[in-house]
C-alpha cells in the first residue's frame, strides 16, 4: 500500500523496514477485496494503557469513498476502547480532517501543546 499510493516517496523505507514497523505495531488491520487485493490498511502504535497513535491509514484510491476507511477507523477505535485507552492521536493528511472529525476526532487548537520532528535518517 505504501508503494501503490505514493506514501513511500518521502519515507523511502525498504520492504524490511516496513515489515518491522508493522510488526512492532500494537494493532494493525488490513482489508482485502473479494479477489484478494489489499485495498485498505491502518495501524496503531500504543503503550496499551493510556495513549494510542493511529498511523498509516491508507485506502487504495479506487476504494476511497466506499466505506473502507470508516470500517478500518471504527475497528481501530474499538480496539482502543476495549483496552481502555484514554487518548487517541493522529496526524491528518491535508484535506482529510473532515473524515476524522466524522469519527469523533477534533482539530487541536492552535495554542495546544505538541510538536514534531522529522528525522531524515536514511539507512
What are the catalytic residues? 100
Give the gyration radius of the chain's Cα atoms.
15
CA 55, CA 118: separation in Å to the nearest integer? Answer: 15
Residue the block writes with cell 494503557? 49
CA 95, CA 98: separation in Å to the nearest integer? Answer: 7
**Residue 55 burial by Cβ neighbours in a 10 Å radius (0-12, 13-18, 19+):** buried
Amino acid at each position: 500500500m505504501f508503494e501503490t499510493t505514493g506514501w513511500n516517496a518521502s519515507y523511502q523505507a525498504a520492504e524490511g523496514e516496513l515489515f518491522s514497523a508493522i510488526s512492532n505495531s500494537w494493532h494493525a488491520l488490513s482489508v482485502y477485496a473479494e479477489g484478494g487485493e489489499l485495498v485498505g490498511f491502518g495501524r496503531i502504535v500504543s503503550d496499551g494503557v493510556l495513549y494510542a497513535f493511529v498511523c498509516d491509514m491508507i485506502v487504495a484510491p479506487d476504494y476511497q469513498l466506499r466505506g473502507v476507511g470508516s470500517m478500518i477507523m471504527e475497528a481501530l477505535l474499538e480496539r482502543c476502547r476495549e483496552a481502555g485507552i484514554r487518548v487517541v492521536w493522529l496526524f491528518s493528511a491535508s484535506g482529510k480532517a473532515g473524515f476524522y472529525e466524522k469519527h469523533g476526532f477534533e482539530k487541536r487548537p492552535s495554542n495546544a501543546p505538541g510538536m514534531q520532528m522529522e528525522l531524515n535518517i536514511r539507512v
